[in-house]
Every structure is written in C-alpha cells, then in structure tokens.
Amino acid sequence: MGTVKAEELRAKTSDELKTRLVDLKQEQFNLRFQTANGQNENPSRARIVRREIARIKTVLGQKARTADAAT
C-alpha cells in the first residue's frame, strides 16, 4: 500500500472515506502496539498511516463544507 493522493480521495464517496479511515485507525493502533513491544518491522509505516488519516480528514471536511454551502 503506497500513499494515496488527495485527488484520488476526492473521487471517493464520504462513506468509502469513513470506512478507509476506520481501517487506518485500526492499523495505527496495531502499529503502536508493535512499536511498544519492539516488533515493528516497518517503523516508517506509522508516519504514512498518520498522514493518510490527515488527508482523509481534510477531504471529508472539504466535502462537508461544500455540502453545507450547497444547502
């Protein structure tokens, strides 16, 4: 899994983004446990996951603002 661009995220529906967000938060949780136990084989993955979570939250916020502006 590589990084996802914001343009790719904007093409998805809010429900798809929320599902992906839940998956990423679960992965982040698991990575924290692996790090605490000294079992994390890919420490850079935590950074990638954190940034992807931020991208998704940003796109969801933008979608919410455009939806509010349309009404």
Residue 29 maps to which CATH number?
A: 1.10.287.310
What is the extent of the structural domain holding 60? 6-70
Tokens, residue 29: 């949780």
Provide the domain count of the chain: 1
**Rounded to two decimals, what is the model's pTM?**
0.87
In a domain? residue 1: no
Q: Where are the alpha helices (DSSP H) in the chain?
A: 6-10, 14-36, 44-70
pLDDT in tens, 9-53: 999 999 999 999 999 999 999 999 999 999 989 999 999 999 999
In a domain? residue 34: yes
Tokens, residue 66: 């455009």
- pLDDT band per the 50, 70, 90 thresholds, residue 2: low
